[in-house]
Copies of this chain bind each other. A is one copy, B any other.
């Protein structure tokens, strides 16, 4: 196996430029929601050249739409397919799913970007752009890993199933569709931006929308109205308090270094139409983190109890209770034990390349891993080259060395995993 590992290393060094160019081209395709097709076309072209068996399909259909955890407010998925490439093993070995999502979140305030968010500029060993870290860099690591093994003429016993899915940022309908299509394996790697840490446990999360009522009036006699903005501030303070209480209960050592293990993020607010009117409606949208050992339902209950408590603190809410909807994305939490062979294998590979063992933590966000493990019965590890703190941020970047290190670690993991007996 040492010879094979050396061949992989050499191939990765020789093909560094091609890898960077592929990532650059992927970042240049702005694959925000409903616009994933051009980036998927690049993936398809790459998989074809690599000689994988392609499965390209537009997700949908009643089995998907009616699945209890299906979650998407998208009207249709036409023209923006899921893409799977399969490299069949010689037989008898452990199979592996390598899953990356192609969708990226919007770029935010353009003024905050030093460079074009879809330029893919390379500077000081970093490649900049929306999606570079979350998670086209990770997807490139997967593709490089497979190509490095294949090009080194290594034969694997187990199947390698590469997936480039849509909708991860909005609730995981792409991965759910892949599971329902029958894709399952003995293990899965999702190279979300873990900053090269290994995450055996993944936080779940779900989106909420709250509607807070006020009573409108002319701004000059604002005391005759009730500002929905001021009431919204009361609601937000209460949510922050709930976040505090929930996080104090987290004792899992994998979360020891994470300031807020399961955050409640207020992502979006909107209220009012006119500077001189007291607003009568405020809408809050956000994301609630769910602990790996918690159910979505239990977390929802805690939030709804918190909102009900507002009635005791402020009479206004007795008359106008805050309305809550759980809409759009929800990501199931997931967890495998640290002693699971998949964690052991990836940790060994990591140590071979980096010298030290990896940092093992719990993921600060939900991933499609919750669906793969809970619905697809496939054990999942999250490990990727992206930098956690720049995901969703302006000036998002990825450290190129990490893309190639992750590619090598993943290649070695595949090599060991798929050579082993299933």
Residues of A that sit less than 8 Å from B by CB: 105-106, 108-109, 112, 134, 169, 203, 205, 207-209, 215-225, 227, 229-230, 233, 236, 259-260, 263, 265-282, 285-287, 289, 328-329, 363-366, 388-389, 391-394
Q: Which residue of B lies closest to A217 (CB)?
A: B393
Please determine whether B267 and A392 come into contact, CB atoms closer than 8 angstroms: no
Contacts of A223 in B (CB 8 A): 259-260, 263
- Quick one: which of B207, B275, B364 contacts A268, CB cutoff 8 A? B275
How far apart are the CA atoms of A69 and B189 in the complex, in Å? 64
Please determine whether A274 and B105 come into contact, CB atoms closer than 8 angstroms: yes
How far apart are the CA atoms of A57 and B227 in the complex, in Å? 38
Please determine whether B271 and A278 come into contact, CB atoms closer than 8 angstroms: no
Please determine whether B220 and A366 come into contact, CB atoms closer than 8 angstroms: yes
Please determine whether B279 and A275 come into contact, CB atoms closer than 8 angstroms: no
Please determine whether B216 and A392 come into contact, CB atoms closer than 8 angstroms: yes
- Min distance, Cβ A141 to any Cβ of chain B, angstroms: 19
Please determine whether A229 and B220 come into contact, CB atoms closer than 8 angstroms: no
Please determine whether B229 and A269 come into contact, CB atoms closer than 8 angstroms: yes
Q: In the complex, given contacts A220-B265, A276-B287, what are 20 additional A-B residue pairs having Cβ atoms less than 8 angstroms apart?
A: A105-B276, A105-B277, A108-B281, A203-B220, A205-B220, A205-B276, A217-B392, A217-B393, A219-B286, A219-B365, A220-B287, A221-B388, A222-B265, A225-B393, A265-B276, A267-B273, A267-B276, A268-B272, A272-B285, A277-B392
**Interface class of chain A by DSSP:** mixed
- Quick one: which of B134, B224, B229, B276 contacts A389, CB cutoff 8 A? B224
Please determine whether A276 and B329 come into contact, CB atoms closer than 8 angstroms: yes
Please determine whether B108 and A216 come into contact, CB atoms closer than 8 angstroms: yes
Contacts of A276 in B (CB 8 A): 105, 169, 205, 207, 265, 267, 287, 329, 365, 392
- Min distance, Cβ A53 to any Cβ of chain B, angstroms: 34
- Min distance, Cβ A233 to any Cβ of chain B, angstroms: 5
Please determine whether A273 and B268 come into contact, CB atoms closer than 8 angstroms: yes
How far apart are the CA atoms of A109 and B363 in the complex, in Å? 40
Please determine whether A267 and B277 come into contact, CB atoms closer than 8 angstroms: yes
- Quick one: which of B227, B328, B364 contacts A266, CB cutoff 8 A? B227
Please determine whether A269 and B269 come into contact, CB atoms closer than 8 angstroms: yes
A-B interface, 3 closest residue pairs, ranked by CB to CB distance from nearest: A220-B365, A219-B265, A268-B272
Given A220-B205, A280-B109, CB of A287 within 8 Å of CB of B265: no
How far apart are the CA atoms of A391 and B108 in the complex, in Å? 37
A and B contact pairs by CB, cutoff 8 A, 23 listed: A105-B274, A105-B276, A169-B276, A207-B275, A208-B275, A215-B393, A217-B392, A217-B393, A218-B364, A218-B392, A219-B263, A219-B286, A219-B392, A220-B287, A220-B363, A223-B263, A233-B236, A267-B274, A268-B272, A275-B329, A276-B287, A276-B329, A277-B392
Please determine whether B388 and A218 come into contact, CB atoms closer than 8 angstroms: yes
Contacts of A329 in B (CB 8 A): 275-276
Given A285-B272, A286-B275, A392-B216, CB of A280 within 8 Å of CB of B108: yes
Contacts of A285 in B (CB 8 A): 272, 275
Please determine whether A289 and B220 come into contact, CB atoms closer than 8 angstroms: yes
How far apart are the CA atoms of A280 and B106 in the complex, in Å? 12
Q: Which residue of B lies closest to A389 (CB)?
A: B224
How far apart are the CA atoms of A365 and B222 in the complex, in Å? 10
- Min distance, Cβ A206 to any Cβ of chain B, angstroms: 9
Given A265-B222, A270-B269, A280-B108, CB of A275 within 8 Å of CB of B217: no
How far apart are the CA atoms of A276 and B268 in the complex, in Å? 9
- Quick one: which of B109, B217, B233, B391 contacts A391, CB cutoff 8 A? B217
